[in-house]
Amino acid sequence: MRKLGARLFFLSVLAAVGGCGSGPLELHVPTLTPNTAREAVTPIDFEPIGAPSNPESILVPGGAEPPGPAAVLASGIRSELQARAFHGGEAGGYVIKSRLDRFALRRDSDKGYGYALLYVDLRCEIKRKADSAPVWRGELRGRSAALGARQFFSDSHVMDQILADRLLSDVTRELASDIAVRILELSGKPSARVFADQDAEQQLAGVNDGPAGVAALTQDPQAAEKLAEMAHTSVNDRLARAAAWNAIAMASGPDRPWVGGIDTGIDKDTFIRFFQYKALARHATIPTLRELKTARGKEENDLLKEFLVDLDSTSGLGLTGFSRRRENLGL
């Protein structure tokens, strides 16, 4: 029955994307458990994302079906902010305006696996609703990776579509967490995705849909530190280890202690290495950026080489910008 359910799921995806072969991808917003909070929720108005000034900054192999990346990202971030019922901060809440500076989906294959990486850059400005006073402005950079064994997919386009769905879910929810948890310092319950059935969950779940996802989305350093042993373990559970490293990445920052262990020990697994690089880049201190430079000279995977070059050009993924709350630059 499980094999039949998985096959039916694949057929439904094929119907949704228009059959076999290459073609435009559909960008989907993750469905989240509805927010049941009634009181003390801080209003956060996330306005539609402005289109990039340079159309070439949107790179999706084969193209993307309407409504396109900006609209889907805005809907996904808004859904996450609402589902988590954030509270604290300014009583009147906030208004967030943003522009899409970059949306790039990159793909590659290696030893029977398909890899996909997503780069999202948003230039954002956050103001208080009460008096339009600026609270924060800067660049949000979302990065994530998805992996699929080709033998489990009936068609390469099906695999590309499913990997894109995983990436959109992880990146939109992480960008919302950066806004609410890291920038506005709000508190909120974890969110959870809703899947049609167990087979859909097995195929569409991203790195934030397992146990480590709560630590990643809440950006809790103590919870992430408890996952360090899992991240470094020699047990061959790449998805659990990648999710643990992603939680470490989301808890990292230039103003926070490093919770990734004394010795990073760059992994032999391509998928896990991506999240190690992400963690080092989000910590964005002199030692961790130095580790990334060293890794760049040794990396053999083309997608990860490109990722490391990108990290070098931005001096990591540290959350930087003007913050009225902290009354300084660079934090």
- Between vectors from CA 198 to CA 192 and to CA 202, what angle results, nearest 5°? 80
Residues 201 and 230 in one domain: no
Residues 95 and 185 in one domain: yes
The pair of structure tokens assigned to 137 is 């402005």
Residues 139 and 264 in one domain: no
Residues 157 and 10 in one domain: yes
Residue 325 has a pLDDT of: 53
Q: Alpha-carbon distance 265 to 272, whole Å? A: 11
Q: Tally Cβ neighbours within 10 Å of residue 199.
A: 20
Domain extent at residue 43 = 1-209
In the block, which residue shows the tokens 């992430």?
Answer: 224
Residue 9 has a pLDDT of: 37
Q: What is the per-residue burial (b if ≥16 Cβ within 10 Å, else e) of 16-53?
A: ebeeeeeebbbbbbbebeebeeeeebbebebeebeebe
R_g (Cα) of the chain, nearest Å? 19
Q: Alpha-carbon distance 36 to 177, whole Å? A: 19
Residue 66 has a pLDDT of: 93
- In the listed set 152, 181, 209, which residue is the last one of a domain according to the structure? 209
Residues 112 and 1 in one domain: yes
Domain membership flag for residue 52: yes
Kindly state the DSSP code that residue 20 receives in the 8-state scheme: S
Residues 82 and 190 in one domain: yes
Domain membership flag for residue 308: yes
Residue 262 has a pLDDT of: 79
Q: What is the per-residue burial (b if ≥16 Cβ within 10 Å, else e) of 111-125?
A: eebbbbbbbbbbbbb
Domain membership flag for residue 28: yes
Residue 151 has a pLDDT of: 80
- In the listed set 152, 178, 209, which residue is the last one of a domain according to the structure? 209
Residue pair 135/323 in contact by the 8 Å Cβ criterion:
yes
Residue 323 has a pLDDT of: 67
Residues 171 and 224 in one domain: no
Count: domains in the chain: 2
Residue 102 has a pLDDT of: 97
Residues 163 and 229 in one domain: no
Stretches in the chain below the pLDDT threshold 50: 1-21, 326-331
Q: What does pTM read for this prediction?
A: 0.90
Q: Alpha-carbon distance 218 to 33, whole Å? A: 16
What CATH number did the domain enclosing 107 receive? Answer: 3.30.160.150
Domain membership flag for residue 215: no
Residues 224 and 302 in one domain: yes
Predicted confidence (pLDDT) per residue in 50-75, tens digit: 999 888 999 999 999 999 999 999 99
Residues 189 and 47 in one domain: yes
Residues 158 and 271 in one domain: no
